[in-house]
């Protein structure tokens, strides 16, 4: 009897030990599955708003005319060495446009950003790094990145930018690879931070880098028919055909009764369907 009791006690103790091992292992796997929140931004990469930033005077302000037939020319991924050429064309044609700039390009082209502002264009944000795996890996990463480009623009122009375009647009299919539902989450939060995002309804097709100026021109002018025409173009250093197509696009617009305007928070938003 005594012997049987000993066996039961030993077996019971062993079961108890096994139970605790299983419980603690399970907890551990739960923590592992949750994964650490990726932090790609730290104090070193934080750019603070400069207390000395003075608002630049918009000496050469180009009129931005909104009508019932308006073209909003938008340039993503700059500034680059080509942006100056684009600014020259816009100045000559007295046409206002919108530049969705990438923060990591700003340091090399500070004067270009300043000139674009002084000339009366909208300086808008296209993130600091444009690296999908970083910006779209979490909500915090996206907004921390945006703050960097925002402060860079503020430090140069004295004005806080409010207009945003997401790399790949709000309809991009790539971001979900890094964080499922991230575009829905960003879009839900963006207005509460007083930012306004814009996609496009006319794609010049210049992103591929394979089109010549005539193909870019045709892509734009054959699709003009909305009252709000937001045209996607790029002013990255490889997009020479875009610069070459620009005078013809402006000419066509003017000859067909369109006005040109820059995007502001009051512009009718063009938003894609979100796919995440």
List interacting residues with Zn ion (CB under 5 A): 76-77, 167
CB of 84 to Zn ion, least distance (A): 20
Q: Which is nearer to Zn ion, 161 or 167 (CB)?
A: 167
- How many C-beta neighbours within 10 Å does residue 224 have? 17
CB of 82 to Zn ion, least distance (A): 15
Q: Which is nearer to Zn ion, 62 or 263 (CB)?
A: 263
CA 150 to chain centre: 11
CB of 250 to Zn ion, least distance (A): 22
Q: Which is nearer to Zn ion, 120 or 167 (CB)?
A: 167
Alpha carbons 120 and 62: distance in angstroms, whole number? 5
Q: Which is nearer to Zn ion, 77 or 206 (CB)?
A: 77
CB of 102 to Zn ion, least distance (A): 7
Which value, in Å, is the radius of gyration of the alpha carbons in the chain? 26
The two tokens of residue 60 are 């050469």
Closest CA relative to residue 167, chosen from 117, 137, 125: 125
| Residues in the chain, overall count | 276
Alpha carbons 139 and 41: distance in angstroms, whole number? 12
């Amino acid at each position: 009897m005594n012997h049987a009791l000993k066996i039961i006690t030993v077996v019971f103790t062993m079961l108890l030990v096994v139970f605790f091992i299983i419980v603690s292992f399970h907890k551990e796997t739960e923590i592992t599955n949750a994964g650490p929140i990726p932090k790609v931004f730290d104090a070193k990469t934080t750019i603070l708003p400069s207390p000395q930033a003075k608002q630049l005077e918009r000496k050469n302000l180009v009129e931005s005319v909104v009508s019932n037939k308006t073209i909003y020319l938008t340039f993503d991924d700059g500034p680059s060495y080509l942006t100056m050429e684009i600014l020259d064309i816009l100045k000559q044609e007295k046409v206002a446009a919108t530049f969705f700039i990438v923060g990591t390009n700003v340091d090399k082209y500070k004067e270009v950003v300043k000139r674009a502002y002084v000339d009366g264009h909208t300086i808008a944000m296209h993130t600091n790094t444009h690296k999908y795996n970083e910006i779209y890996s979490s909500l915090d990463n996206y907004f921390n990145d945006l703050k960097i480009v925002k402060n860079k623009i503020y430090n140069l122009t004295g004005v806080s930018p409010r207009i945003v375009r997401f790399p790949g647009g709000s309809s991009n299919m790539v971001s979900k690879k890094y964080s499922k539902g991230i575009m829905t989450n960003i879009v839900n939060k963006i207005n509460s931070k007083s930012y306004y995002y814009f996609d496009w309804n006319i794609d010049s097709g210049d992103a591929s880098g394979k089109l010549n100026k005539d193909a870019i021109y045709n892509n734009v002018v054959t699709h003009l028919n909305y009252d709000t025409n937001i045209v996607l173009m790029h002013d990255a250093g490889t997009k020479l055909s875009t610069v070459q197509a620009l005078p013809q696009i402006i000419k066509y617009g003017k000859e067909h009764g369109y006005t040109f305007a820059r995007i502001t928070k009051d512009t009718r938003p063009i938003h894609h369907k979100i796919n995440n």
